[in-house]
Structure 1
Amino acid sequence: MKSIDTKAILMGVAFGIMWASAFTSARVIVQYAPPLHALALRFLVSGIIGILIALAIGQNWRLTRKQWIAVVVFGITQNGLYLGLNFIAMQTIEASLAAIIASTMPLLAAFASWAVFGEKIRPLGVIGLLAGVVGVVLIMGARLQGDVDLYGIALCAISVVSLTVATLAVRGASSGGNFLMVVSLQMFVGSAILWGPALAFETFDVTWNWQLAVAFSYTVIVPGLLATLVWFLLVDRIGATPAAVFHFLTPFFGVLIAAVLLGEKMGSMDIIGVLIITVGILAVQMSKQKPTSL
């Protein structure tokens, strides 16, 4: 198991902020455009930009077998299923709630890593993961007392399982280099997967305005390219299970950004839950550090 160092923590926090911000920009997009059309176009644009940059800095198409597998699996599970279902769900549920549901992914990833790959989790790490769950449950409990769309919640729950598969699928995916090329190609896979259902089930009804333009452009560049690239590098640096811990940052930044930019409610249970989740992150990080020899 690779240890978590300062650079990995900074990468994880940066990823957490960029990833959480995607829920707010997505919430804006789906208010003015059909979700699957918007997401399929986003991946197409992100993929083209990414490949052009990758070629310009000397990267190439010669990927390893593991990388090609990860391109396909990651493109289908994260871009097609996880984000596709989230975009549909955010037509009826708040961005902050979608972000909180997504933050449960580390538990699923840790369980799958233990069950499938035989990875061990130290007791402190288990306590940290459980603390994170408690924090999420507190937040969710308060939110579910209000008027929420259960169908939207169900879509988010299915999507987080897909994200877990995507997380485990990138194990070893970046070991052959060409990081940006790998990221860009999986964007094309996501786009290809989404165009079919978009054309079959949606009407291309768009309200053109500056809010849509800003939200779409931001989503293409920041969560679309930068966050995914940082995620690949982070998983390669410390492994899938410890990297998944940084998804616990999603509820804090997701709720905060949605509250600031969209005016979504941030209650006392949100704050308490976020504090507990933060303690959980610290515990898991400490559990991954190798003992220092005397």
Structure 2
Amino acid sequence: MSTTTALPTRRAPDSFAILLMIGLCAIWGLQQVAIKSANAAVPPVFQAGLRSALASLLVWAWARSRGTPLFRDDGTLGAGMLAGVLFAAEFICIFLGLTLTSASRMAVFLYTAPCFTALGLHWFVDGERMRRVQWLGIIVAFAGMALAFADGFLPSGPAGASAHGSTLARAAGDALGVLGGIAWAATTVVVRGTRLAHTSASKTLFYQLAVSAVVLLALALGLGQAHVETVTPLALASLAYQAVIVAFVSYLLWFWLLTRYIASRLSVFSFLTPLFGVTFGVLLLGESFSTRFLAAALLVLTGIALVNAPVRRRAV
């Protein structure tokens, strides 16, 4: 790619971009359900490593077919390694958290990431200062998170020690969801605040997938998880969905949208992802949630929408 060619002017999302973003949010919302449905067959850390490894091979093949260099020395190695480690940390939290909490709850806690991203960019990246409406969004989202945590400590099963243990496990899974959101936000800050912001989307994605594959597979080996309990059609379909549809196709489509449309206008759709996640958890896994958790989720979604609110410019 020539670095002298002027970048195309980014425009507001049209109907095609809006429909594509809704589709992407549905794909991302289904991801938690896919992971949870395969955890019994493939240990979580090993499943995450296989997902990253398969997707990194697909990105490498895609970049090679388009003549996009992935191994040229452009000063991004250090930042790319850090982004990959953070990406691995995010999915360790997601995959382990889904063994403890529901896919619906994980979807809400994980997608607090835009709020943490806004805070990180405000503190570490020049020109990314938050506006008052974004601070309001942070407060509203964090209030929703606190309410959701409080709901998580309410027993959902039989009284006694088993209910107490289940409640503590669910709270731990919820906390891992938040940590996953923080790791996701930190990855975004690294990408935006380093030389990765000026490299190709394929190379940035390849760094995250390839490095995380090494980290996750090594960790799975160390934990004794580098095996498959049972090979089932559901587990294979889940792994294919995560690697091909989510980590390869959807991420490349997202990066493609970012090159043509205004990022802030696209990001506002992120509030749909936890909504899809909760819906799929209820419909496909038979999960349930309380009125308190529904109110908490609505607060989180409102906060995300406020954080991603587009800047209103005065007419001149």
Task: Identify the residue that residue 112 of structure 1 maps to in structure 2.
Answer: 120
**Is 1:134–2:135 an aligned residue pair?**
no
Q: TM-score, normalised by structure 2?
A: 0.78
Residue 6 of structure 1 aligns to a residue in which SS? Answer: coil
SS in 2 for 1:132: helix
Please list, as runs of the form range in 1=range in 2, the aligned pairs for 1:76-115 lying within 5 A after superposition.
Answer: 76-78=85-87, 80-115=88-123
Return the match for 2:217 from 176, 181, 195.
195
Query: Does residue 29 of structure 1 match 2:38?
Result: yes
1:265 alignment counterpart:
288
What is the one-letter code of the residue matched to 1:40? Answer: G
SS at match of 2:107: helix
User: TM-score, normalising length from structure 1?
Assistant: 0.83
- Whether the 8 Å contact between 2:40 and 2:229 is mirrored in structure 1 is no
- In structure 2, how many angstroms separate the alpha carbons of the residues matched to 1:9 and 1:142? 34
Stretch deviating more after TM superposition (187-196 or 163-172) = 163-172
Q: Secondary structure of 2:40's partner?
A: helix
Shift, 1:181, TM fit = 4.1
The correspondence for 1:5, drawn from 3, 12, 19, is 12
User: What are the within-5 Å matches in structure 2 for residues 90-239 of structure 1?
Assistant: 90-118=98-126, 119-146=128-155, 147-148=166-167, 149=169, 150-171=171-192, 173=196, 175-177=198-200, 179-203=201-225, 204-233=227-256
Q: What is the DSSP-based 3-state SS (H/G/I as helix, E as strand, rest coil) of the residue aligned with 1:31? A: coil
CA contact (8 A) 2:84 2:211 kept: yes
Q: Secondary structure at the match of 1:100?
A: helix
Give the whole-Å Cα distance in 2 for the aligned partners of 1:91 and 1:26: 10
Secondary structure at 1:170 match in 2: helix
Q: 2 CA distance for matches of 1:202 and 1:85?
A: 18
CA gap 1:205/1:185 in 2 versus in 1, 3 angstroms = same
RMSD: 3.1
Question: Structure 2 vs 1, CA of residues 158 and 136 (structure 1 numbering), >3 Å: closer, same or farther?
Answer: closer
Cα distance in 2 for partners of 1:102, 1:130 equals: 17
Task: Please give the per-residue CA displacement for 1:65-114, whole angstroms capped at 9, x wherever unaligned.
Answer: 36544432222111x11102221221222112222221222222222222
Aligned twin of 2:67: 58
Counterpart position of 1:280: 303
Higher Rg: 2
Alpha-carbon contact 2:114-2:304 (below 8 Å) kept: no
SS in 1 for 2:287: coil
Instruction: Report deviation, 1:192.
Output: 0.6
**Quick one: distance in 1 between partners of 2:124 and 2:203?**
28
Aligned to 1:16: 25
Shift of 1:254: 1.5
Structure 1 residues 137 and 84: CA distance shift in structure 2, 3 A: same
CA distance in 1, matches of 2:24, 2:79: 19
- Bigger helix share: 1
1:276 is displaced (CA, Å) by: 3.6
Other-structure match for 1:75: 84
Moved more, 124-133 or 268-277: 268-277
Cα distance, 1:123 vs structure 2: 1.5
Percent identical pairs in the alignment equals 20
SS at match of 2:196: coil
Structure 1 residue 18: Cα displacement: 2.6
* C-alpha contact (below 8 Å) 2:13/2:265 kept by paired residues: no
Instruction: Report SS of the residue matched to 2:136.
Output: helix
